[in-house]
A and B are shown apart, each in its own frame.
Chain A
Amino acid sequence: MTKTVFLGAVAAAAAVLLSTGAQAAEGDTLRAVKQRGELICGVNPGLVGFAAPDANGNWSGFDISLCRAIAAAVVGDANKVRFVPTTGQTRFTALSSGEVDVLTRNSTASFQRDTELALDFPAVNYYDGQGFMVRKDLGVTSAKELDGATICIQTGTTTELNLADWFRANNIAYQPVNIDSNAEGEQQYLAGACDAYTTDASGLAATRAAFADPENHIILPEIISKEPLAPAVRHGDNNWGDIVRQTLFALIAAEEYGVTSANLEELSKSSTNPEVQRLLGATDNLGGMMGLDAEWAKRAIAAGGNYGEVFAATIGEQTPIGLARGLNALWTQGGLMYATPFR
C-alpha cells in the first residue's frame, strides 16, 4: 500500500514536471517552440548588463534582449520566454541536450565548439576580446609587466586557455587563481587576492563600473584574444539557426536604416525604402521563407528596439557599464556589425 502510493507520488510529480519541461530536443526546434508557446533561453546567472535578474526575478540585459527579440519573432510575444541560468560548466550540455532552445550567454564562438561540441554560432552579437584589469596604484601600464603576478580567472572559459597561451608566448610567469563566478572574482580582486583580473573586456568594464572606486582601477591596453560572443544553437537544425541569425540581422539592419522602436509603426506604413518595406513585412513575406509570418522582424524590433537601442539601454555609454560601441558599431561607422541584405 505504502509503496504503491509513493510510487504514485513519484509518478505524479514526474507527470507534472514533465509536462512543464521541453518536449522535443531533435529536429524541428521551431515547431517545438511554437507548440510550447514559449522560448527557452540559456543565460548567464548574473552578469550585470548582459543578463541579471532583479529583485522580482525579471531578467534584463544585452543577451536577454536578443532572446526576447527572438521570442517576439517566433512566438509573437517578447515575454513568452523562460530563462534558464547556466553555469560555465553546464551551458553547452544544456543546449545539446535540448534543455534550452538557444544559448544567449556571452559565449565565445570557436573552432572546436563549432565542430567537436556540435554547436552552431549563427551570428556574432558582440565582438569582444580578453583584457586585464589592475589597480592603478600597482603602477602597471602594460600586461607584459605582469611577470610573476597572480591573476584571477574563471574556470571553464576560453579565457583560461588564452591566458596560458599568451603568457607562454611572451615568456612571462604568472600564478592563476581559479574562481567559479564573476561575483567571486570581484570579491577576490577587490580584496587583493589577485593582482589582475582577466575576462572579456566588456565583462571587465561591467565589473569596474560597479566598483565603489572605479577611478582606482584601469583596464590594460592589451587585448590578448578575439572573443566573438555569439548566440549558440544545436548543430543540424539549420532553419532554427537561420531564425536566430536573421533576427539578429534584423536588429542590426534596423539600426542601419534608422528603424527604431519609436518610428517602427510609422515606417512600416510610410517608408519608401524597399529594403525597409521588406524587412518590416510591408512587401514580400520574408518570414514565410523560414516558417514565420511577415511581421516577425517588426515584432523583434518592437521588443527592445534596434541593435543600437538595445546596446545603449543595456551596456552603452549612458549606462553604469559605459561600453563604447567600438568594434560593435555599424559597418557604416567603422565597426563590424553588418547584416546581409533582406531580399
Chain B
Amino acid sequence: MTHLQPAEHQPFRLSMLIYDRRYRSLTIQTVVFIGVMLFAAWLVNNTIENLARLGKTFSFSFLWARAGYDIPFSLIPYAATDTHMRAAVVGLLNTLLVSFVGCVLATIVGVLAGVLRLSNNWLVSKMMTVYVEIFRNVPLLLWILVILAIFTDVLPAPRDYRGDDAAAQMILFDSVAPTNRYTAIPRLAVEHAPGPVVIAGTPVNGALVAFAVALVAAWLVWKWLRGWARARQNRTGRRPVTWWISVLLFVVPLVALINLFGVHLIPPTLAGFNFTGGVNLDNGFVVLVLALTLYTGAFIAEIVRAGILSVSRGQTEAAFALGLRARPTMGLVILPQALRVIVPPLISQFLNLTKNSSLAIAVGYPDLRATLGGTTLNQTGREMEAMMLMMGIYLVLSLLISAVMNLYNARVRLKER
C-alpha cells in the first residue's frame, strides 16, 4: 500500500491500475463513468424501443395544438382556444404566484410563531408549541383537505347572501364576502387614470408608475433625514425627533395621489349566480396558500426559535453592558447572528414550499402540474414529453431559488466578521 521507493522509478505495470492509488482513482472513475453511461444508454434504448412498440413518437409539437379546456384561474388572458403551451405558462404563473405568496406569508407566520413561542407569556408560548407540533407532525395533504373541507362545508354559498334577511352577511363594511367558492374582495379602480407610460418599449400603467416614483422619492428623503438626524446626534448628543416627519413623508404623497387619480374600491355585488364587480379569489388558491403557509410556518417557527436560541446569552448581556437598549440589542446584536443560523434552513423551507405547491392537485387549483402535467398530459397522451418538461421546469425553479437565496446567504455571512 505504501511505497517506500519514489513512485516515478517504478515502470508502469498493469496491476498498478488497481493497486496504485494514483492510477486507481483513474480506474475507478473510468469504470463508474462507463457504468453510468451504459446504464443511461440502456434506459434510453429501452425507451426508444417501448415507444416504437406502442407506435408513439417523441415530439413536443403537441404544445402548439389547441388546448380545448378552460382554466378557472389565470393571471394572463387565456381561453380554451389557446395552445397547450399557453396553458402550461398559465400553470407555471399560477405555481409561481402561490409559491411567492406562500413564502412571504409563511415567513411572517413562522417568525411570529417562533418569537411568540419564546415569549415569557405562558399561555401564548404553550399555544404556539401546540400549533407547531400539530402542524409539523401531520401530513400536509391532510391540512389541505381539512382546510378545503372547512371552506366548502362551513362557509356560506353565494346565494346565501341574497335577499333582505340573507343567511350570511358580508364582512368588513360590506366589502368582503367569503363564500364556499371564492372569497370576493373589492377591486381597486382608478377614476382619472393617466395614460400608460412607455418604459423600455412596453406600456406600463401610469398610476402605478406615479405611486412607485412617489414611494421611492419618499424613501430617499427618509434615508437622508435619518442620516441627518444621526449626524446631529453624533455632534450634539441629542437626537432630534423626526418620526412625525417620516410618517408625513409617506402619507402625504400617497393621499395626494389617491385623490388626484380618484382611486377607490369597488365592492363585489351579487349578480345572478355569483358575485361580480370585485375580485373573486379562487378558493383553491386561498386554501392552498393557507395550508402551505400554516404548514411551512410551523417549520419556520422552529428554525427561527433555534436561530435565536443559538445566540449565546452572553451576547445579550454584553450588549446590555454596553448600554444598548432591548430593541437595538435585538436589531444590532442578536438578529444578525441569528440570521446566519436561520437563513440556510429557511431556503430549504422555501424550496419545500414551492415543491409542495404541486399538491394543488388536491384542491383543483390549476398549477403547472394540473395544466401541463394534468389535463394536457391526459388529453394528448404525451406522458413522456409533458413529464420531462414539467420536471425540468420544477428543477430550474428550485435551482434558481437556491441560487438567489445562496447569494443572499453569502451576503449575510460576510457581515459576520
The answer to whether A and B touch in the complex, with CB atoms under 8 Å apart, is: yes
**A residues in contact (CB < 8 Å) with B:** 26, 88-89, 92-93, 96, 112-113, 116-118, 146-150, 155-156, 160-161, 163-165, 168, 174-180, 187-188, 191-195, 235-236
**CB within 8 Å for A193 and B152 given contacts A118-B56, A161-B69:** yes
Q: Are B69 and A117 in contact (CB under 8 A)?
A: no
Q: Which of A155, A165, A178 has most B Cβ within 10 Å?
A: A178
Residues of chain A lying within 8 A (CB to CB) of residue B153: 187, 191
Q: Cβ of B366 < 8 Å from any Cβ of A?
A: yes
Q: Cβ of B35 < 8 Å from any Cβ of A?
A: no
Residues of chain B lying within 8 A (CB to CB) of residue A174: 70
Residues of chain B lying within 8 A (CB to CB) of residue A148: 271-274, 276
Q: Quick one: which of B311-353 are within 8 Å of A by CB?
A: none
Q: Cβ of B253 < 8 Å from any Cβ of A?
A: no
Q: Cβ of B128 < 8 Å from any Cβ of A?
A: no
- Contact with B362, one of A117, A161, A180, A235 (Cβ below 8 angstroms): A180
Residues of chain A lying within 8 A (CB to CB) of residue B365: 178
Q: Cβ of B125 < 8 Å from any Cβ of A?
A: no
> In the complex, A156 Cα to B361 Cα: how many Å?
12
Q: Mark B171-198, 1 if CB is under 8 A from A, else 0.
A: 0000000001100000000000000000
User: What is the number of residues of chain B that contact chain A, defined by CB distance less than 8 Å?
Assistant: 39
Residues of chain A lying within 8 A (CB to CB) of residue B272: 147-149
Residues of chain B lying within 8 A (CB to CB) of residue A92: 381
Q: Are A150 and B378 in contact (CB under 8 A)?
A: no
Residues of chain B lying within 8 A (CB to CB) of residue A180: 361-362, 364
A195 to chain B, nearest CB (A): 5
**B residues in contact (CB < 8 Å) with A:** 53-56, 68-72, 80, 149, 152-153, 157, 159-160, 180-181, 271-274, 276, 283-284, 361-362, 364-366, 370, 374-375, 377-381, 383
What 9 additional pairs, Cβ within 8 angstroms, besides A147-B272, A193-B157, A193-B181?
A: A148-B273, A155-B374, A156-B375, A180-B364, A187-B149, A187-B152, A188-B180, A191-B153, A193-B180
- Contact with A188, one of B152, B159, B377 (Cβ below 8 angstroms): B152
Tally the A-B contacts, defined by beta carbons under 8 Å: 95
**CB within 8 Å for A177 and B378 given contacts A118-B55, A150-B274, A168-B80:** no
Residues of chain A lying within 8 A (CB to CB) of residue B361: 180
- Contact with B180, one of A89, A149, A192 (Cβ below 8 angstroms): A192
> In the complex, A118 Cα to B383 Cα: how many Å?
13
> In the complex, A201 Cα to B80 Cα: how many Å?
24
**CB within 8 Å for A177 and B72 given contacts A88-B378, A148-B272, A155-B370:** yes
Q: Which of B54, B149, B153 has most A Cβ within 10 Å?
A: B54
A227 to chain B, nearest CB (A): 15
- Contact with B53, one of A26, A155, A168, A193 (Cβ below 8 angstroms): A26
Residues of chain A lying within 8 A (CB to CB) of residue B378: 88-89, 155-156
Q: Are B72 and A175 in contact (CB under 8 A)?
A: yes
**CB within 8 Å for A176 and B70 given contacts A164-B80, A193-B181:** yes
Residues of chain B lying within 8 A (CB to CB) of residue A175: 72, 181, 274
Residues of chain B lying within 8 A (CB to CB) of residue A236: 55
Q: Are B152 and A161 in contact (CB under 8 A)?
A: no
A144 to chain B, nearest CB (A): 14
Q: Which of B272, B273, B366, B370 has most A Cβ within 10 Å?
A: B273
Residues of chain A lying within 8 A (CB to CB) of residue B366: 178
> In the complex, A149 Cα to B378 Cα: how many Å?
26
Sample of 28 A–B contacts (CB below 8 Å): A88-B378, A116-B381, A118-B54, A118-B55, A118-B56, A148-B273, A148-B276, A149-B274, A150-B273, A155-B364, A161-B69, A164-B69, A164-B80, A165-B68, A175-B274, A176-B70, A176-B72, A177-B284, A177-B364, A178-B72, A178-B284, A180-B362, A187-B153, A191-B152, A191-B157, A192-B159, A193-B283, A194-B181
Residues of chain B lying within 8 A (CB to CB) of residue A112: 379, 381
A25 to chain B, nearest CB (A): 8
Q: Across the two chains, which residue of chain A brings its CB closest to B56?
A: A118
Q: Across the two chains, which residue of chain B brings its CB closest to A191?
A: B152
Residues of chain A lying within 8 A (CB to CB) of residue B380: 116
> In the complex, A28 Cα to B378 Cα: how many Å?
27
Residues of chain B lying within 8 A (CB to CB) of residue A176: 70-72
Q: Which of A92, A113, A155, A193 has most B Cβ within 10 Å?
A: A193
- Contact with A150, one of B54, B69, B70, B181 (Cβ below 8 angstroms): B181
Residues of chain B lying within 8 A (CB to CB) of residue A192: 157, 159-160, 180
Residues of chain A lying within 8 A (CB to CB) of residue B273: 146, 148-150, 195
B40 to chain A, nearest CB (A): 20
> In the complex, A193 Cα to B379 Cα: how many Å?
26
